[in-house]
């Protein structure tokens, strides 16, 4: 982790804020590197995060069996590993609507008139979950009032270039330099 700022005291404060926020949202072990460039004289604030790799997405087939009954127009899901059941219910509620999902027993779920295919359904994606937590942390770290944001996200890198004025190309270029350096490390 590195904070680049013309003011050493300001850099130390942002380093402390960064560490505190990462602890608060429980990201200290999930973040590989963070680079911050801050210059309040311009004003610009750039933060680039490189995340650790996560496990692959969890598919429905990995923890449940399902079949579709054409006659009843229902999908029946039998749970083999219930640790993913809350995520499955949440996903089904989002896709099909809460009123169409029934749970006759702890290890069974029934979907009335399913509109989406169950094959290959991603129930939970650790990479996307981690990205959400990183964004939460970043928006806690950027200076108050810096509402003009250039956003970059690719693979394991997320970058925000922020200001409270018009975005300048030199700041975006600086952000891209930091990203390129982080990729090469």
How far, in Å, CA of 144 to CA of 48, rounded?
A: 18
Would you call 72 helix, strand, or coil by DSSP? Answer: coil
- Are the C-beta atoms of residues 64 and 77 closer than 8 Å to each other? yes
Q: How confident is the model at residue 110 (pLDDT cuts 50, 70, 90)?
A: very high
pLDDT of residue 25: 93
| Integer CA distances (angstroms), 164 to 10, 17, 44, 179, in order | 18, 20, 8, 22
Q: Mean pLDDT across the stretch 153-157? A: 93
Would you call 160 helix, strand, or coil by DSSP? Answer: strand
Q: Which pTM was predicted?
A: 0.82
Q: How confident is the model at residue 1 (pLDDT cuts 50, 70, 90)?
A: confident
pLDDT of residue 92: 97
- Are the C-beta atoms of residues 60 and 88 closer than 8 Å to each other? yes
Q: How confident is the model at residue 185 (pLDDT cuts 50, 70, 90)?
A: confident
Q: Mean pLDDT across the stretch 16-28? A: 94
Give 45-102 pLDDT, tens digit per residue.
999 999 999 999 999 999 999 999 999 999 999 999 999 999 999 999 999 999 999 9
Residue located via tokens 């250039």: 150
Q: How confident is the model at residue 170 (pLDDT cuts 50, 70, 90)?
A: very high
Instruction: Residue 136: count other Cβ atoms within 10 Å of its Cβ.
Output: 14
* Dihedral sign computed on CA atoms, order 167, 171, 172, 175: negative
Note the CATH number of domain 2-54+126-184: 3.30.1710
CA angle 58, 140, 30 (to 5 degrees): 35
Q: How confident is the model at residue 107 (pLDDT cuts 50, 70, 90)?
A: very high
- Are the C-beta atoms of residues 115 and 75 closer than 8 Å to each other? no
């Amino acid at each position: 982790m590195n904070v680049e700022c013309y003011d050493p005291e300001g850099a130390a404060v942002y380093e402390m804020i960064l560490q505190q926020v990462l602890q608060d949202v429980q990201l200290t072990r999930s973040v590989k590197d963070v680079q911050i460039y801050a210059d309040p004289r311009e004003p610009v604030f750039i933060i680039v995060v490189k995340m650790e790799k996560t496990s692959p997405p969890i598919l429905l087939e990995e923890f449940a069996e399902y079949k579709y009954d054409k006659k009843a127009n229902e999908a029946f899901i039998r749970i083999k590993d219930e640790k993913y059941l809350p995520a499955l219910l949440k996903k089904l509620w989002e896709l099909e609507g809460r009123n169409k999902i029934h749970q006759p027993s702890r290890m069974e779920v029934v979907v009335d008139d399913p509109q989406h295919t169950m094959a290959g359904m991603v129930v939970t994606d650790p990479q996307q979950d981690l990205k959400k937590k990183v964004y939460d942390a970043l928006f806690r770290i950027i200076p108050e009032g810096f509402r003009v944001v250039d956003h970059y996200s690719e693979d394991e890198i997320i970058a925000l270039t922020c200001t409270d004025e018009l975005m300048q190309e030199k700041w975006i270029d600086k952000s891209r330099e930091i990203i390129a350096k982080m990729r090469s490390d």
